[in-house]
Chains A and B, each alone.
Chain A
Amino acid sequence: MSSSHNAATGEPVITFDRSETFAPLSARRLFVLGGIGLILIGMIFGDIFAVFVLHQNAARVGANLAGAAHAALLGDASAVQRYFQGVGASLENRGTKVDTHVHMIDFGYLALLLAIAEPWIAFSPRTKRALAWTFLAGAGLLPVGVFLIHYIGLIYSPFEAIGWASVAADFGGLLVLAASLGCLAGLWLHFRSGSAFTDELLAHTADRSRRALLAGGMVLILLGFLCGAYYAGVELYKHEARDVADLSGMASAAAARNAGAVDKALMDYGQLQGEKAVQIAAHAHAIEFGLLAMMLALFQPYVDFREKWKYRWALTLLAGSLALPVFVLLELKYGLLAGAAADLGGLLVIIALLAMWIGILRHSGAVDAVSQQASEGAS
């Protein structure tokens, strides 16, 4: 670490050396490698979920709902209850898996953000390391706990509605919250001290891969926002009205013992759920991939590949990031073909992310080797 003064403001300026900011088991290294690791696991889990669970689960929800409507048609109230328990179980199964996927990726994003902010957190390296471990422990515990909610349920739980898996998940959330608050306090201390510093991740020149990721990420975020604004402004209230109308039509037709109307309402309801799911997924994925691209742009100096390869991986990530939401939107029209293309887009993002993670791992090895040589030279 070296110190100088800003010529314009007279404020002290600290310049950090990479062996300090990216030292072995340093908070930044933990946040970077842990964050990308969480995103990778979350995305792989999401792909497995999309291919092997999502559609089968939707079919089970539909079958149970149809069963409930037909049981009502036959006047069998106890069968209605049984089928609704099935709907509830399938929805909980789906909901917990979506939450596992989303929280793991979002915690990965937050870890990357904290990695960038890490030099500004005015605590000792040991405290920062403890905060990073606390964060990563919570970020791992919450998704695992959420995933287990469906399987553990209320077994041995002293609570009426919350099981032990939920308690574990909430505790994980509390750890993440505490670590984030700790980081915020560290940032506050830094800004109160009035000192300034330059960090290589922000001061590094904008090379080709970084520019591509920044611009591409911004475009993806804007597309996602526009998609979301269109959905909220044009479709949301219509969808909500249709949702209740379809269910009302289904129940009323069953009460009137009209089998044809029940089946039609069931078909409309299934169609509506598909429309809602693809529009929300396209909106959310475009924005999340945009954020990911912009964050990864900042970490390009740590990706230890030749510039040509860094640029190729950046383009691969952007291509996958665009393909996934676009083909998700096309799923309603082109069915499984578009679904397969969307999954391929997700796979491209995973491969590019894995490549960058390996690049950062290579870089950490290089930093360690330089530090080791320096310490051997000194002794």
Chain B
Amino acid sequence: MSAARRVLLFGGMALATWGMAYGLWYAVFAEHQALNGIGASLAVAFTGAAQANQDVVDSSLQQYKQAKYVYDRQVDVHSHWIGLAMLLIIMGFCIDYVSFGAKWKTRIAWGTSLGAVLFPLGVLLQTFSHGEGPRAVAIAGSGIEIACLFLFAFGFLRKQPHSS
């Protein structure tokens, strides 16, 4: 088995398992609490509005904003890690149809795996810090991923070594 296929298959399986474990932890320990928090803050905001209490409205919507920001990203991290893991595994199976040398295939495999880990990681880090660092990690991860996919597409189009 080629090094590129090994990187993609093992990387993909490990990432899928990690993504599922994260999703399981999230569903059991965080999701219901997050949804309750989002719903409660909205209800309190509108109750405050009914009582013409602007301070309650503002503070509750601030809580809503923070809870929704974290919730959206945590769900995205789970789905993107697993989705990208599946992509890695599929690319691992299709690597023989990519017309590059073994060294380049391995580089692209590492690049695709790196992007698949970094992009959701950057999104997850945004839940801890609103600074530029986590956004930069997410952008770098998605950039690497897209660039590697373009290389895969180019490799598919360049030549079909198994064509009959």
Contact = CB atoms under 8 A, between A and B. Distances in A.
A294 B47 contact: no
A300 to B, nearest CB: 12
Given A206-B162, A219-B153, A225-B149, A184 B24 contact: no
Contact of B162 (A68, A205, A254): A205
B156 interface: yes
Contact of A113 (B61, B86, B157): B86
A248 B61 contact: yes
B102 interface: no
A254 B48 CA distance: 10
A221 interface: yes
Given A161-B33, A170-B27, A77 B17 contact: no
A92 B38 CA distance: 12
B122 to A, nearest CB: 10
A294 B94 contact: yes
Interface of A: 68-69, 71-77, 79-81, 84, 87-88, 91-92, 102, 106, 109-110, 113, 116-117, 161-162, 166, 169-170, 173-174, 176-177, 180-181, 183-184, 187, 191, 196, 201-202, 204-207, 211, 214-215, 218-219, 221-222, 225-226, 228-229, 232-233, 240, 243-244, 247-248, 250-252, 254-257, 287-288, 291, 294-295, 297-298
Given A88-B39, A205-B164, A240-B69, 17 more contacts: A75-B51, A77-B50, A80-B43, A80-B49, A113-B12, A113-B90, A113-B93, A177-B20, A187-B10, A206-B97, A218-B153, A221-B87, A222-B153, A251-B46, A252-B57, A298-B93, A298-B94
Interface string B126-153: 0000000000001100100110011011
Interface of B: 1, 6, 9-10, 12-14, 16-17, 20-21, 23-24, 27-28, 32-33, 35-36, 39, 42-43, 45-54, 57-58, 61, 64-65, 68-69, 72, 79, 82-83, 86-87, 89-90, 93-94, 96-97, 138-139, 142, 145-146, 149-150, 152-153, 156-157, 160, 162-164
Given A180-B17, A298-B94, A243 B68 contact: yes
B164 A181 contact: no
Contact of B97 (A75, A214, A248): A214
A306 to B, nearest CB: 15
Given A225-B145, A225-B146, A298-B94, A69 B86 contact: no
A72 B68 contact: no
B162 A80 contact: no
Contacts of A221: 87, 149
Contacts of B57: 248, 251-252, 255
Main secondary structure on chain A at its contact with chain B?
helix
A173 to B, nearest CB: 5
A252 B24 contact: no
Given A202-B93, A226-B146, A207 B153 contact: no
A254 B61 CA distance: 14
Contacts of B82: 106
A255 B54 contact: yes
Given A77-B51, A252-B49, A173 B160 contact: no
Contacts of B72: 240
Given A180-B20, A222-B150, A196 B51 contact: no
Contacts of B12: 113
Contacts of A177: 17, 20-21, 24
Contacts of B9: 117, 187
Nearest to A102: B79
A106 B39 CA distance: 28
B37 to A, nearest CB: 11
Nearest to A71: B50
B153 A291 contact: no
Contacts of B16: 110, 180
Contacts of A68: 46
Nearest to A163: B32
A161 B36 contact: yes
A76 B17 contact: no
